[in-house]
Amino acid sequence: MNDTKAQLSQNMLESIANQTKVLTSAQIEVGDIPIEIYTSTDATYAANFRSNTVSVIDSDTNTVIKNITVGDRPRFIEALAGGGAVYVANSGSDSVSVINPANNTVLKNIKVGAYPSSIHRYGDAVYVANSDSNTVSVINLVNNTVIKNVTVGAYPFSITSSMNAVYVANGESNTVSVINPANNTVIKNIEVGANPSSIYGFEDTVYVANSGSDSVSVINPVTNEVVAGVTFDINPFVGGQIICNGLDAPINRYFFVSSGTECIATPNNGYEFASWVETFDGNSTRTINASTAADSPLAALDTFSNDPAASLTVNRFGNFTAYFKALPPPVPAQYWASLFTVVITALVGSLLIPAVVGWIKTKRQTSRLNSFHKQMARVYGDSKVDANDTNQLNILNRNISDSYAEGKISNEQFMHLKNEVSTAYQEIFKKRIESITGQNTDALNKIKRDIKDAYSTGKIVELHYNLLNEKISDLFNNR
């Protein structure tokens, strides 16, 4: 941001102060253009943008006990927990004032980058977003000196942290820079909406307010990707499954997927894809993609055709249902009426008997598949899966294998169910991995053995086995 932009920002703030104000007895009079407030246990600190002061308000009496002169144009305050120092970003003097809360005096003015606009404390350092120099200054809390200036995107304006990283919203490059605090280097720049102006991190989610596109981007701090929260449903339930990036998607359960993920509605035998439908608040719906079935009756025989409409690119939050419809009989019923001679009847009978037997077997297998799906739904009965569900999963896994060995479910149904169970086991292992703190070697080795045992006994498939090992490597290499 150049000097003209800084002047426009300043003029806008000053115009607010020039408007008519009506003070009531419930208001506390502080300095000129109070723009930021930080409240600690004992006091509240107000940064007064135009008077270059910080007002200290006694929390018990709600009266100003001191006005501290700081740098030029203070606009952001951050305080350390437990009565530690208070840090004030002075956008006009390119500095950070350090206030001792014990006596409310300025301990030090630290020179940082141009137009510091936001401060965030993480670990043993304070991170300062310098909007006009496109950098983040890292201040050591022990000696209050700048140990590094990290180059980020254009016009960094807001800063936060989540899990093991610091996140910086870059207002003019439409990105979020991810800083590894272990070595204070940028490990990724994530594309978000237009003009990200504010960012806030929770333990497992980072939210970005994009003022230029009227949107909020959600970042998964584990993968550092923009995600969308979705819920999938299938109608009818036995009609098929939804595959996202090669994996079965959970059904009737809210989860996050990376923005741009392609999910495909895949029909089971005897069904074909019909349409994708999005459900909104108030139960209103909208058809997104619909199948364009061929006019030829032979088209119904091709149950494995790739219908382009069955593919859904997830780029927003929402509730989506994949609709399937049963295929008509391979031979239309009206043709049987013309087969009346003894020879034809005998011939048809010899052909039909195996078909009838196969039809009965398929119906039984479908019924068994539906039963297993219902059991899997009960595992997710509390909308999550965790270690408490392990015993139930073990029983379900054995029953699926026994049913397949006895011919009660087909090979396709068996592979589908095993992948669904493997997905549940994978979620349990992921939560165990993420719960390990620090470099706990014993816990790490224990979970590695459990994952290997689960793979060797057929509880998880090879893909999930490899993904879990990659997650362990990625997570602990970054610590």
Domains of the chain: 3-226 (2.130.10.10), 227-330 (no CATH), 338-479 (no CATH)
Torsion sign across C-alpha atoms 89, 93, 94, 98:
negative
Whether residue 386 is predicted with pLDDT greater than 90 in this model: the reply is: no
Per-residue DSSP letters for 68-79?
A: EE-SSSEEEEEE
Whether residue 381 is predicted with pLDDT greater than 70 in this model: the reply is: no
pLDDT of residue 80: 80
Whether residue 22 is predicted with pLDDT greater than 50 in this model: the reply is: no
Give residue 26's identity as a one-letter amino acid code.
Answer: A
In this prediction, residues 103-120 reach a mean pLDDT of 95
Whether residue 155 is predicted with pLDDT greater than 50 in this model: the reply is: yes
User: CA distances (Å), 32 to each of 20, 151, 391, 474, in order?
Assistant: 13, 33, 64, 49
pLDDT of residue 295: 42
Higher local confidence (pLDDT), 472 or 265 = 265
∠ CA 217-220-226, nearest 5°, is: 40
Torsion sign across C-alpha atoms 227, 189, 121, 163:
positive
Q: Residues in the chain, how many?
A: 479
* Separation of alpha carbons 257 and 323, rounded Å: 21
pLDDT of residue 88: 96
pLDDT of residue 366: 65
Specify whether the CB–CB gap between 48 and 54 falls below 8 A. yes
Q: What does the mean pLDDT of the chain come to? A: 82
Q: Which of 279, 287, 285, 289 is nearest to 310 (CA)?
A: 289
Torsion sign across C-alpha atoms 465, 469, 472, 474:
negative
User: CA distances (Å), 41 to each of 23, 44, 88, 441, in order?
Assistant: 26, 8, 18, 38
Residue 128 — pLDDT band, cuts 50, 70, 90?
very high
Reading the block at residue 232, the tokens are: 């999938």
Q: Which of 327, 326, 322, 315 is nearest to 242 (CA)?
A: 322
